[in-house]
């Protein structure tokens, strides 16, 4: 049975919101730490540090001192980290789907007019 990479990606990733991808993030980090999932360290550490910064009570611009700018720095960090993290999770889900179909032949998608 043959699968195209395009169909495999659609099936693996689907469109889930960030909240529904949280279990996938934990699974991705666990497999990365075990050495099973190949990923550069910087691709996971920076987004996780950004999320930790937003959750942390320690801020560069505290909300109580500078109300508007204190929230804006958190939003700026989130706007940089969440897309990067979602991109990495999507790569992980595609990798995971390919691992499940280990014995199956996967071909590249072709565009036909």
pLDDT < 70 regions, the chain: 1-16, 103-113
Rounded CA gap, 67 and 71, in Å?
A: 7
Is the overall model pTM greater than 0.75, yes or no? no
Tell which residue, 84, 21, 16, has the closest CA to residue 50: 84
Cα–chain-centroid distance for residue 88?
Answer: 4
Closest CA to 85 of 15, 33, 30, 24: 24
Domain extent, residue 40, equals 2-106
Give the model's pLDDT for residue 1: 42
Beta bridge mates, 44? none
Residue 61 lies in a domain: yes
Does a structural domain hold residue 36? Answer: yes
Q: Is residue 27 part of a domain?
A: yes
Please give the pLDDT value at position 30. Answer: 92
Is residue 113 in a domain? Answer: no
């Amino acid at each position: 049975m043959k699968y195209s990479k395009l169909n495999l990606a659609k099936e693996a990733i689907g469109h889930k919101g960030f909240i529904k991808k949280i279990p996938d993030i934990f699974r991705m980090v666990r497999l990365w730490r075990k050495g099973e999932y190949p990923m550069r360290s910087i691709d996971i550490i920076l987004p996780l540090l950004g999320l930790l910064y937003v959750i942390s009570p320690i801020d560069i611009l505290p909300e109580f001192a500078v109300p508007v700018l204190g929230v804006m720095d958190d939003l700026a960090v989130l706007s940089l980290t969440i897309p990067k993290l979602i991109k990495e999770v999507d790569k992980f889900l595609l990798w995971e789907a390919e691992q499940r179909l280990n014995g199956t032949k996967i071909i590249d998608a072709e565009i036909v007019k």
